[in-house]
Structure 1
Amino acid sequence: MLLVIDVGNTNIVAGVFDDKELVCHWRFSTDRSKTADEYGILLRSMFNYTRMPMDQIKAIIISSVVPPLIVPLCHMCERYFELTPMVVGPGIKSGISLRYDNPREVGADRIVNAVAAFDKYSKKGMPMIIVDFGTATTFCALLPTGEYLGGAIAPGIGISTEALFQRTAKLPRIELIKPKNVISRNTVNAMQAGVIYGFVGQMDGIVRHMKEELGGNAFVVATGGFANTMAAESDSIDVVEPFLTLDGLRILHEKNSK
C-alpha cells in the first residue's frame, strides 16, 4: 500500500492507496512547530482508528508547500514506517512540461494537481483549467499535450473571511454556508452572501478570461475544501475532484517507481 501526504499551509491531507483505490484518508492542521515524533504519533492514532495496519505501507510520497516541514516528515517516515519517502520537487518525473518563467516557483500542489488532471482528462482533447480552493485559490491552465502554462493566484476563501473578522470591530466569525438570499437582513447572512457570491464571481471572471486566452473553451476541474460549495453556485465548473491532489501523488509515485 502507498501512503500519500499533501502538506498545505492550513491543512495536511494524508491518504492510503491500495493499488489505484483510495481506501482511507485524513485531514489535520498544519503545525510548523510539531516534531517528527508528534506527527508520527498523530498518524499512528489515525491508522489505529481506521484499523489500518501501518506495516502494510510499502512506500510513501510527500508534497509540501511548507518547506520547514519536509525534514521532520521525512524523519517521521523513517522512524515510524522504516521507509524513505519520495518528495515532490525538482528532478521528479511528472510528464508535465512547465512553461513557466522559473519552473522552481511553481508550488508542488499545483504540479500534483496538473499531473492528476492530465491523467484523467487529457483524452478530452481540450485545454484544462484547474481551480484549487485552498489557503490560496489557484487557477492553473494545462494543455491536452501536457504543457503547464501557468495561471492565477488569489487569496483563499478561509483567510479572506478571517481577515474580515480580524480587521473589523463588529463583524463576527461566520460559518461559510450559502444564505437564503443575497439581499440579507442580518449581519451573518450578509457576510455569507458577500463571501460566497463574491468568490463565485471572482472564480467565474478568472475562468472566463483564462478560457479566452486558451482559445475560447476549456474543461474546468475544481478541487479543495470549498469546491462543492462553489460548483453549486456556478456553471463554470465541469467536475469536482475532491481528492485530485492525492490521486496526483499516487500517479507521480507510479511514474517515478518504474
Structure 2
Amino acid sequence: MILVFDVGNTNIVIGVYKSDELIDSWRIATDKDKTSDEYSMMIHYFFQYSNIDLKLVKDVIISSVVPNIMYSLEHAIRKLLNIEPLIVGPGVKTGMNIRYDNPKQVGADRIVNAVAAFEKYGGPLIIVDFGTATTFCAVSQNGDYLGGTISPGIKISSDALFQRAAKLPRVELIKPGKVICKNTNNSIQSGIIYGYVGLVEYIVKKMIQELGGKNVKVVATGGLSSLIASEANYIHIVDKLLTLDGLRIIYNRNKEERSKTV
C-alpha cells in the first residue's frame, strides 16, 4: 500500500491505495502549528479507525503548496513509518512536459491534477480546481501542460465580503434557487454562487477558444466542484479524487527508482 498526501492551503487530503484502488481517504484542516507528534497521532488514528494495518504502508508521496508545514509532516512520516517520503517537485518524473515560462513556478497540485486528468480522460482538456484559489489549467492533445489562470477561491471571496462589509452576514455557500432574491442572505448567496458560475463559464470558454475549440474536455475537482458544476454548462466531468489519483500515477512512474532507495 502507498500513502498519499495532498497538502493544500485550507485542507490536507490523505489517501491510502492498494495497487490502483483507493482503500480510504481522510480530510483534515491544514495547520502549520501542528507538531510532528500531532500529525503522527492523527495518521495512526485514521488507520486504526478504518481498521487498516499501518505496517502495510510501503511508501509515501506528498504534493504540497504549503512549505511551512513540510518539516513537521515529513518528520512525522519518518518517525511513524521509517520512510523518506517522495515530494512532488523538480526531479520527480511526471511524464508531462511543462510549457511554462518557469516550470518551477507551477504549483505541485496543478501538475498532479493535470497528470491525472490526462491519464484518465485524454486531451485536450481543462482542469478547474475549486480550492483555496480556483485554478484553471490547460493540457494539450499530446499531454503537454500549457499553463492557465488563477483566481480567488469561492470561500476567499465570501470571507472578504463578510469582513469588509459591516452589515453583511456570513452565509452558507448553497444555491438560493433564484438570482433575484428577496432577503440579504439569499442575495449574497446568489451573487457568490451565480457570480462564480459566470466567472468559470467565461474563463473556460476563452480557454477552449485558445485550445482550438474542438473536443476539449473540462474536468472539475475540489470541495465545491459539484456545487458550481451543477450550474455550469461547460463542465463535463466532476472528479473529486483527481489529485489523489494523480499522486498514485506519479508515484507509479517513480516506483522503480524509489525501489532502489526505499
**Could you list the runs of 4 or more consecutive aligned residues of structure 1 that deviate by over 3 angstroms after TM superposition?**
none
Contact 2:124/2:143 (CA < 8 Å) preserved in 1? Answer: no
Superposed CA deviations along residues 86-140 of structure 1, whole A, max 9, x for unmatched, are 1101010001100000000000000000110111112xxx410000000000000
Structure 1 position 113 matched with structure 2 position 113:
yes
Supply the distance in 2 between the matched residues of 1:180 and 1:252 (Cα, whole angstroms). 41
Q: What are the residue-to-residue correspondences of 1:75-114 with 2, within 5 Å?
A: 75-114=75-114
Match of residue 196 from structure 1: 193
Supply the distance in 2 between the matched residues of 1:249 and 1:147 (Cα, whole angstroms). 18
Supply the distance in 2 between the matched residues of 1:148 and 1:180 (Cα, whole angstroms). 37
**What percent of counterpart residues are identical?**
55
Contact 2:135/2:148 (CA < 8 Å) preserved in 1? Answer: yes
Structure 1 position 132 matched with structure 2 position 134:
no
Contact 2:9/2:65 (CA < 8 Å) preserved in 1? Answer: yes
Supply the distance in 1 between the matched residues of 2:40 and 2:26 (Cα, whole angstroms). 14
Structure 1 position 162 matched with structure 2 position 159:
yes
Supply the distance in 1 between the matched residues of 2:168 and 2:44 (Cα, whole angstroms). 40
Deviation at 1:153, TM superposition (A): 0.2
Q: 1:214 aligns with which of 211, 216, 233?
A: 211
Deviation at 1:180, TM superposition (A): 2.0
Supply the distance in 1 between the matched residues of 2:92 and 2:249 (Cα, whole angstroms). 12
Q: Which runs of 5 or more residues in structure 2 are unaligned?
A: 257-262
Higher mean C-alpha displacement, 14-23 vs 47-56: 47-56
Q: How many equivalent residue pairs? A: 255
**Matched AA of 2:207:** M
Q: What are the residue-to-residue correspondences of 1:62-81 with 2, within 5 Å?
A: 62-81=62-81
Match of residue 48 from structure 2: 48
**Matched AA of 2:163:** Q
Supply the distance in 1 between the matched residues of 2:48 and 2:118 (Cα, whole angstroms). 34
Superposed CA deviations along residues 177-214 of structure 1, whole A, max 9, x for unmatched, are 11121111111111111111000000000000001111
Supply the distance in 2 between the matched residues of 1:253 and 1:49 (Cα, whole angstroms). 26
Deviation at 1:144, TM superposition (A): 2.4
Q: What are the residue-to-residue correspondences of 1:142-161 with 2, within 5 Å?
A: 142-161=139-158
SS in 1 for 2:177: coil
Supply the distance in 2 between the matched residues of 1:231 and 1:73 (Cα, whole angstroms). 33
Structure 2 length-normalised TM: 0.96
Q: Which runs of 5 or more residues in structure 1 are unaligned?
A: none
Supply the distance in 1 between the matched residues of 2:61 and 2:15 (Cα, whole angstroms). 10
Superposed CA deviations along residues 3-38 of structure 1, whole A, max 9, x for unmatched, are 000000000000111111111000010001111111
SS in 1 for 2:169: coil
Structure 1 length-normalised TM: 0.97
Deviation at 1:81, TM superposition (A): 1.2
**Matched AA of 1:127:** P
Supply the distance in 1 between the matched residues of 2:105 and 2:34 (Cα, whole angstroms). 26
